[in-house]
Amino acid sequence: MSTIAAISTPQALGGLAVIRISGQDAISIADKIFVGFTRVRPSDMAGHTCAYGKIVCGSQTLDDVVLTVFRAPKSYTGEDTVEISCHGGVYLAREILKLILDNGAAAASAGEFTKRAFINGKLSLTQAEAVMDIISAEGEASLKSARLAKEGQLYKRINDVCNSLVNVLGSLAAWCDYPDEDIPETDSESVASVLGTALSSLDKILTDYDKGRILRQGIDTAIIGKPNVGKSTLMNAILGYQRSIVTSTEGTTRDVIEESARVGDVVLKLSDTAGVRSSEDEVEQIGVDLARKKLTDAELVIAVFDGSRECDDNDREILKSLSDKRHIIIVNKSDLPQKLNLEYNNDDNILFVSAKSGFGLEKLTEKINKLFKLGGYSDGGEIYTNERQRSLVKKAREFISKALNSVGDGQTLDAVTIYIDEAANSLLELTGERATEAVVNDVFSRFCVGK
């Protein structure tokens, strides 16, 4: 396999940048460009040691750096690896990378280091995917879950199910293939019991998926309400800074403004929509149409009402539109004398705030956690699968369920074998043990270069 190199830190200004080289020529390439201040050469260095020196290109010194050597198989990729920590600077790091490429390394493609780790048996496919999740984790819970997956928990759980299926397959095959031998007949009850356990194990993974998706991707949230009830002010309060124009003239929020804000452990993807009401003004009408669409698509609707004004037909219409949506009612302007009398009686979903001062907003986290059943996150046992993993778990689950039905219907265990085999195959694809090259490539193409 060729020797590859890339800048592994973000291409932005920073204190340090790290350039990574991996492959059989990694150390000899380092020999050509690195001069240690103690005269040490990378090829003389033991694995997991570092040296201070300079990167040179002919007679020119590019930078003073720290160079670390990892020797195969004790490295991230499982290959000889060199990491060069240089001063942070986009130009400088690129110059050093260019020098490494000129000396024989190939530019690494997205996720190639991790892909090599997978190919060299350092990581399972699910662990490799977890590396990606760790990089993109935005909150504590998603990071914790990604770490569990990285430590192999998802792999272990899937592997346990898979092994139990393979065991059943083994005993079924032995019994079918060697009828004359004295092999105890596998009875359908014990098969059903193994399948039942496998099924509930996969079900738990599927239940956790929804929660994981929310923690990872955030919640699409629409803020709705009549003009002037304080939607923009509320959005700004949640965001913690001025974003949409706050004004006391009606109907000025003409666009749908989108921002992301962290509330507790979830990210709300907020859209502040133009007032939901018909409008004569053409431009504003576009905003209103967008708002309706946002409302339909949203997973969470935050409906804002003005507590200092009496309830009118518009308010009632908005209340009505919420019935089949996960929603939170915000009664705003609680600093003013209250006149609003909403016909709404679910205390769990209602919050009295002053968006202007921020009063009451701290309870938003609690409401959201309750609504999305996030509060229970604490046993640390949840593992959040990604879309690829989920669809394979689902597929395996369907086959196991078919196998169970066949056992129940009294079909021959031979027929049951086919379903169990399919289920095991899906799980092996999930862990990467039987994944096609296309699947593996697809997984790694989502990575960034340098990882």
Give the footprint of ligand GDP on this chain (CB under 6 A). 225, 227-233, 246-248, 253, 332-333, 335-336, 354-356
**CA 305, CA 227: separation in Å to the nearest integer?**
10
Query: For residue 400, how many other CB atoms are within 10 A of its CB?
Result: 27
Parallel, antiparallel or unpaired: strands 16-22 and 81-87? antiparallel
Q: How far is the CB of 343 from ligand GDP (least distance, A)?
A: 21
In the block, tokens 């689950």 appear at 397
Q: How far is the CB of 295 from ligand GDP (least distance, A)?
A: 15
Closest residue by beta carbon to ligand GDP: 230
**CA 73, CA 79: separation in Å to the nearest integer?**
6
208: its two tokens: 């956790």
298: its two tokens: 């949203």
Closer residue to ligand GDP (CB): 228 or 431: 228
CB 141 within 8 Å of CB 265: yes
Establish whether the linkage from the previous residue to 73 is cis, with ω within 30° of 0: yes
75: its two tokens: 């490295």
Closer residue to ligand GDP (CB): 234 or 263: 234
Closer residue to ligand GDP (CB): 249 or 436: 249
Closer residue to ligand GDP (CB): 232 or 426: 232
DSSP readout, 240-259?
A: TS--SPP-SSTT---SPEEE
Q: How far is the CB of 338 from ligand GDP (least distance, A)?
A: 11
How far are the Cα atoms of 4, 40, 48, 105 from residue 20, in angstroms, in the given order? 8, 19, 14, 11
Q: How far is the CB of 257 from ligand GDP (least distance, A)?
A: 10
Closer residue to ligand GDP (CB): 203 or 250: 250
In the block, tokens 């928990």 appear at 153
CB 375 within 8 Å of CB 348: no
Q: How far is the CB of 348 from ligand GDP (least distance, A)?
A: 22
Closer residue to ligand GDP (CB): 23 or 227: 227
Q: How far is the CB of 334 from ligand GDP (least distance, A)?
A: 7
Closer residue to ligand GDP (CB): 352 or 377: 352
Query: For residue 193, how many other CB atoms are within 10 A of its CB?
Result: 13
Query: Where are any strands of DSSP class E within 135-205?
Result: none
Contacts of residue 362, Cβ cutoff 8 Å, sequence gap at least 6: none
Closer residue to ligand GDP (CB): 231 or 402: 231
Q: How far is the CB of 91 from ligand GDP (least distance, A)?
A: 44
332: its two tokens: 């705003």
Q: How far is the CB of 347 from ligand GDP (least distance, A)?
A: 20
Q: How far is the CB of 230 from ligand GDP (least distance, A)?
A: 3
Closer residue to ligand GDP (CB): 202 or 353: 353
CB 211 within 8 Å of CB 449: no
